[in-house]
Amino acid sequence: EWLPDNRSAILVSDFRDASVLAEYVTLLNANDDEYDRYLAFKRRGDGVVDNAKLAAAMRARRWGVRDEDSASPRGNFVEHFECHVCERLHEGAPARRVASAEHYGCPRPGRLVPDADASDTMWQSMYDQSRVEARAWRRLVERNVVYSSQEYYDLVSDMAVEASAVIVAIVLSL
């Protein structure tokens, strides 16, 4: 119900089973004109969205997508979307929330292609970096003191070096 138009995606639920879906994908692969109908909404270049529900939601939001200028009435995506998320989180929220491992105990992501070269380790690296940053935030918050962004980045850097040293020690002990 949130697609730009009726031909912007192949919906698996529209097919009786995987074999019927495979036949359709094979047909699209053999017929460029039919396949291009799925890309037509992108190629029009007019930004028109045929789905009335999606178009209304896009008009109502306070952030833009291509608006690089944060002074724009619709604002820059990152800054204004982050504000939107924060506001939604705090609407009717209790005064204090405590996160647990249930919230943030995600396992480290695996490799997308097990036997591929190291180029597919981006998610693992991002996960590892985020864990170091989260531990740094926690340490600073638990100290209950004012700190600068430089102090935060220095702590993240120190903690990343410590984590790397632990990994090296473990590997060397094997």
Q: What share of the chain in percent tops pLDDT 90?
A: 13
| Residue 15 within a domain | yes
Q: Are 147 and 156 in contact (CB under 8 A)?
A: no
The reply to whether 24 and 73 lie within a common domain is no
Euclidean distance between CA atoms 80 and 85, whole angstroms: 9
Backbone angles phi, psi at 39, to 5 degrees: -100, -5
Q: Which residue type sits at 90? A: H
56 and 70 housed in the same domain: no
pLDDT band at 18 (very low <50, low <70, confident <90, very high): very high
**Position 69 pLDDT exceeds 70:** no
Q: Is residue 111 part of a domain?
A: yes
SS3 call for 116? coil
- Evaluate whether residue 102 is within a structural domain: no
Q: What's the mean pLDDT in 154-162? A: 89
Position with higher pLDDT, 25 vs 77: 25
The pLDDT assigned to 85 comes to 72
> Total domain count for the chain?
3
Residues 79 and 40 in one domain: no
Q: What is the mean pLDDT of the segment spanning 148-160?
A: 89
Question: Do 171 and 113 share a structural domain?
Answer: yes
Whether residue 165 lies inside any domain: the answer is yes
Mean pLDDT of 88-107: 68
Residue 174 binned pLDDT confidence (cut-offs 50, 70, 90): low
Question: What pLDDT band is residue 118 in, cutting at 50, 70 and 90?
Answer: low
Same domain? 55 vs 115: no
Lookup: tokens for 55: 């178009």
Q: Does residue 7 fall inside a structural domain?
A: yes
Same domain? 55 vs 73: no
Do residues 54 and 70 both lie within one domain?
no
Q: Are residues 56 and 68 in the same domain?
A: no
Name the nearest CA neighbour of 84 among 64, 55, 63, 56.
63
Range of the domain at 33: 1-60
Shared domain for 111 and 174, answered yes or no, is yes
pLDDT single digits (tens) 122-137: 777 888 888 888 888 8
Residues 37 and 73 in one domain: no
Residues 52 and 5 in one domain: yes
Find the mean pLDDT for residues 136-145: 86
**Cβ neighbours, 10 Å, residue 21:** 16
**Is residue 112 located within the same domain as residue 136?**
yes
Q: Which of 23-27, 37-41, 105-109, 156-160 has the highest mean pLDDT?
A: 23-27
Query: What would the pLDDT profile of 44-57 be if each residue is shown by its tens digit?
Result: 766 677 788 888 88
Answer yes or no: is 130 within a domain: yes
